[in-house]
């Protein structure tokens, strides 16, 4: 559950730092969000099916 909450917090942070002039930080946060979200989904699937 903590991973799911952290995905939403990171998403809010990514929206807050978005700037067309400096997209590097935004893209790095989106990459971290995708990795944490994938781990979160895998933990959910393992808990539900495993």
pLDDT digits (tens, 9 = 90+) for 1-50: 888 999 999 999 999 999 999 899 999 999 999 999 999 999 999 999 97
Task: Give me the pLDDT at residue 48, please.
Answer: 93
| pTM score, whole prediction | 0.81
| CA 7/CA 14 separation, integer angstroms | 10
Task: Give me the pLDDT at residue 50, please.
Answer: 73
Instruction: Match 């700037």 to its residue by tokens.
Output: 19
Task: Give me the pLDDT at residue 1, please.
Answer: 82
């Amino acid at each position: 559950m903590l991973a799911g909450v952290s995905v939403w917090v990171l998403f809010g942070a990514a929206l807050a730092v978005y700037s067309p002039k400096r997209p590097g930080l935004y893209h790095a946060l989106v990459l971290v969000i995708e990795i944490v979200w994938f781990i979160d989904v895998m933990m959910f699937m393992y808990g539900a099916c495993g």
